[in-house]
Chain A
Amino acid sequence: MVPPHGVHRRVHVGDLRPGDHACLLFASEEERTSILRGFVLGGLDAEHKILYLAGADGPPGPQALLEQCRLTGLPGGLDGRLEVLRPAELAPGQGRLDPAALLGRLRDAADRSRSEGYRGLRVTGDLCAVLRDGPDLSRLLRYETLLATEFSSARTLAVCQYDIRRCDPAALDAFASAHLRSVEVDPLVRTAELTVVRTYSPPGLRIEGVVDAGSHRRVRDALRSVASVRGDVRLEMSRVEFLDLAGLRLLMTFARARAARHCTVELTGLPPHLLHVITLIGWDRTPGLRLGAAHAC
């Protein structure tokens, strides 16, 4: 099932550009950290200033943010490039969010970054975690709307984090629809014909495009990257255009290896012809393999 908040366009974190206003819907710290790492690296690479709106459980300062992103080995000279705003600065007083005041702060930060010589500003934060009394739906939405208007043609980009485990589904839909795009990790494989992306809830991979003799090694490496995942793995296949027999065998071998650890591999969105081939060979009996819902034509 595709959740309602999953229907808008995805953007890989490395493809974010100034003017983007995207949401990051995460369900695990591993997922959030992977994306934040890409966000920070992309910002440093593009000579952007990075502003982190931290919640109570967010990083207390730039160094903590770098450690959280496992980016401790970077060369020096990062002073001032990363700035962390604490909850007390974001929602002073009773912890109530003032959308217009927060936007004003961001506008100031954008002006300051420009005068400091940065090429742009990138902002991220988990505002639900900022608010002491839980998310204030109407105020947060107001903020998101202002942000969308403010940044649509500017040198600023924003990634708004939402922990889907902590948000009410209806509120989550409202937050998500305030964004044109949803950010996800950079692909493990990206060639002209094949894209493989790590997914997190449930854990697995999304495979898109063409798998043939030219890409078996890449697919094997991508599968290896989720080999240590605990529990079941899902491979989302609905955008597979072509998968040859040797490529299909890689998936079966992976399932067998998972079965030895008492876990399964579920293939979802499988194009009907591949289901036909799997059954023809008898690979539908592969230990550890689960054939999920087929791809609707």
Chain B
Amino acid sequence: MPADHADGPAPAPGRARGFVHHACLYGSDEDFLAMALPFARAGLAAGEPVLAATTPANIDLLRRALGERAYALDTAETAYFGRRPVERVSAFLRYHDRRARPGRRMRMIAEPVWGGRSDRQIAEWQRMESGLNVLLAALPVWMICPYDTRVVPPAVAEAACATHPARLEGERLTPCAAYTDPGAYAEAVRPAPVAAPPTAAESGPADRVADVRRFARERAAAAGLAGERLSLAELAVCEAASHLLAAGGARVVLRAWEEPGAVLYELSRPEPSGAPVPPFAGFRPPGGAPGAEDGLWLARTLSEWLEVRTTGPATLITLRIAGPRDAERL
């Protein structure tokens, strides 16, 4: 497990092993390069795929410092390399799938965007940072997540030590004493819950996806969605509901309501049916073989956010789907 790596030296280049996840808190361009340059240079020299998903300014810095070696560096402007946590995980996995070389590790500099985010988004990204230790555990990836202390809120920089087993300063590795088990971290760090208002439309309990589909479509249409976006909303809600209905005898109560900019759905499975939904379920895109969390991944990907909560015996999935006023999708 990643926590073990913090005790030893930084992994030797070139050898494939499990996921290694380090934070790097830096306060200047020099500090950034003191970490990034040796990390990227050693990887490239060893023939490893190296990705820098960071700010355009940092990409420039690193390219200039690498000189000729910069031709072999993969880069991504971090704000567009997975806009939301589920897309970020998919982007990492896609990079791995496309660039992996047999028997070789790969390196990634992955700097999330923290500035300008809502409290909910910050909590979601922090949970994902922690979740990467589970989601990518089996991959031969050494990932360093830089946090720019000049712009990152202090509480966010501090939390990096709870979501990464160790931190790097230059080439010096220090274990993070505050590192928290991802499952426990996900429990502790949650966005504020969103409850259905008393005026929400309600249907069910339903035990067939067909009933969910009609309700989902009707409410999305009432919210003003049409055409392709209406069909995608319908699909997102149905895939989330199918996840809850997969256990035999399960039923879900459906609620939907509108908020400025969005239509929200709450799917509530009142009785305990099947296994509880794991904290990082539905973050990995469908693979070659069918997976139990495939539909949940699609629902997450098609929603602005999707949250799973367990209260007593009940399991609740809440999805927020962008409404017709979302100008990015006009």
A interface, CB within 8 angstroms of B: 193, 210, 212-214, 242, 244-246, 249, 271-273, 276-277, 280-282, 297
Q: Are A249 and B290 in contact (CB under 8 A)?
A: yes
Among residues of A, the one whose C-beta sits closest to the C-beta of B294 is A245
For the complex, give the distance between the alpha carbons of A193 and B210 in Å: 10
For the complex, give the distance between the alpha carbons of A245 and B296 in Å: 10
Q: Are A213 and B242 in contact (CB under 8 A)?
A: yes
Asked if B129 is at the interface of the complex by the 8 Å CB criterion, the answer is: no
Asked if B227 is at the interface of the complex by the 8 Å CB criterion, the answer is: yes
B256: shortest Cβ distance to chain A, in Å? 18
Q: Which A residues touch B213, using CB under 8 A?
A: 210, 212, 242
Q: Are B298 and A277 in contact (CB under 8 A)?
A: yes
Contact check: which of B209, B235, B245, B301 meets A273 at CB < 8 Å? B235
Q: Are A245 and B208 in contact (CB under 8 A)?
A: no
Q: Are A273 and B238 in contact (CB under 8 A)?
A: no
Q: Which of B209, B213, B286, B301 gathers the greatest number of chain A CB atoms within 10 Å?
A: B286
In the A-B complex, the 7 residue pairs with the smallest Cβ-Cβ separation, listed nearest first, are A273-B231, A273-B228, A272-B228, A212-B209, A273-B232, A245-B295, A245-B298
Q: Are A214 and B239 in contact (CB under 8 A)?
A: no
Among residues of A, the one whose C-beta sits closest to the C-beta of B230 is A273
Between-chain CB contacts (< 8 Å), 14 pairs: A213-B242, A214-B209, A242-B235, A242-B238, A244-B295, A245-B239, A245-B286, A245-B295, A245-B298, A249-B294, A271-B228, A273-B235, A282-B94, A297-B228
Q: Are A276 and B286 in contact (CB under 8 A)?
A: no
Asked if B111 is at the interface of the complex by the 8 Å CB criterion, the answer is: no
Q: Are A213 and B235 in contact (CB under 8 A)?
A: no
Interface positions of B from 106 to 151, Cβ below 8 Å from A:
none
Asked if B48 is at the interface of the complex by the 8 Å CB criterion, the answer is: no
Q: Are B285 and A282 in contact (CB under 8 A)?
A: yes
Q: Which A residues touch B232, using CB under 8 A?
A: 273, 276-277
Scoring B residues 215 to 239 as 1 if CB is less than 8 Å from chain A, else 0, what string do you get?
A: 0000000000001110110110011
B266: shortest Cβ distance to chain A, in Å? 20
Q: Are B209 and A244 in contact (CB under 8 A)?
A: yes
Q: Are B231 and A244 in contact (CB under 8 A)?
A: no
Extra inter-chain contacts (8) besides given A210-B213, A212-B238, A244-B235, CB under 8 Å: A212-B210, A213-B209, A213-B242, A246-B295, A271-B228, A280-B298, A281-B286, A297-B228
Q: Which A residues touch B229, using CB under 8 A?
A: 273
For the complex, give the distance between the alpha carbons of A182 and B36 in Å: 69
Q: Are A210 and B228 in contact (CB under 8 A)?
A: no
Q: Are A281 and B234 in contact (CB under 8 A)?
A: no
Q: Which B residues touch A245, using CB under 8 A?
A: 235, 239, 286, 294-295, 298
Q: Are A281 and B210 in contact (CB under 8 A)?
A: no
Q: Which A residues touch B227, using CB under 8 A?
A: 272, 297
A172: shortest Cβ distance to chain B, in Å? 36
Among residues of A, the one whose C-beta sits closest to the C-beta of B217 is A242
For the complex, give the distance between the alpha carbons of A255 and B68 in Å: 43
Among residues of A, the one whose C-beta sits closest to the C-beta of B301 is A280
B98: shortest Cβ distance to chain A, in Å? 10
Q: Which A residues touch B235, using CB under 8 A?
A: 242, 244-245, 273, 277
Q: Which B residues touch A214, using CB under 8 A?
A: 208-210
Q: Which B residues touch A246, using CB under 8 A?
A: 290, 294-295
Q: Which A residues touch B245, using CB under 8 A?
A: 213
B183: shortest Cβ distance to chain A, in Å? 26
Q: Are B228 and A249 in contact (CB under 8 A)?
A: no
For the complex, give the distance between the alpha carbons of A282 and B208 in Å: 29
Among residues of B, the one whose C-beta sits closest to the C-beta of A246 is B290
B143: shortest Cβ distance to chain A, in Å? 21
B255: shortest Cβ distance to chain A, in Å? 21
For the complex, give the distance between the alpha carbons of A214 and B294 in Å: 18
Q: Are B242 and A244 in contact (CB under 8 A)?
A: yes
Q: Which B residues touch A212, using CB under 8 A?
A: 209-210, 213, 238
B213: shortest Cβ distance to chain A, in Å? 6
For the complex, give the distance between the alpha carbons of A273 and B210 in Å: 19
Q: Which A residues touch B294, using CB under 8 A?
A: 245-246, 249
For the complex, give the distance between the alpha carbons of A249 and B301 in Å: 17
Known: A282-B94, A297-B227. A244 touches B210 (CB 8 A): no
Q: Which B residues touch A277, using CB under 8 A?
A: 232, 235, 298
B248: shortest Cβ distance to chain A, in Å? 12
B80: shortest Cβ distance to chain A, in Å? 15
Q: Are B231 and A281 in contact (CB under 8 A)?
A: no
For the complex, give the distance between the alpha carbons of A245 and B298 in Å: 8
Scoring B residues 273 to 295 as 1 if CB is less than 8 Å from chain A, else 0, what string do you get?
A: 00000000000011000100011
Q: Which A residues touch B228, using CB under 8 A?
A: 271-273, 276, 297
Among residues of B, the one whose C-beta sits closest to the C-beta of A241 is B231
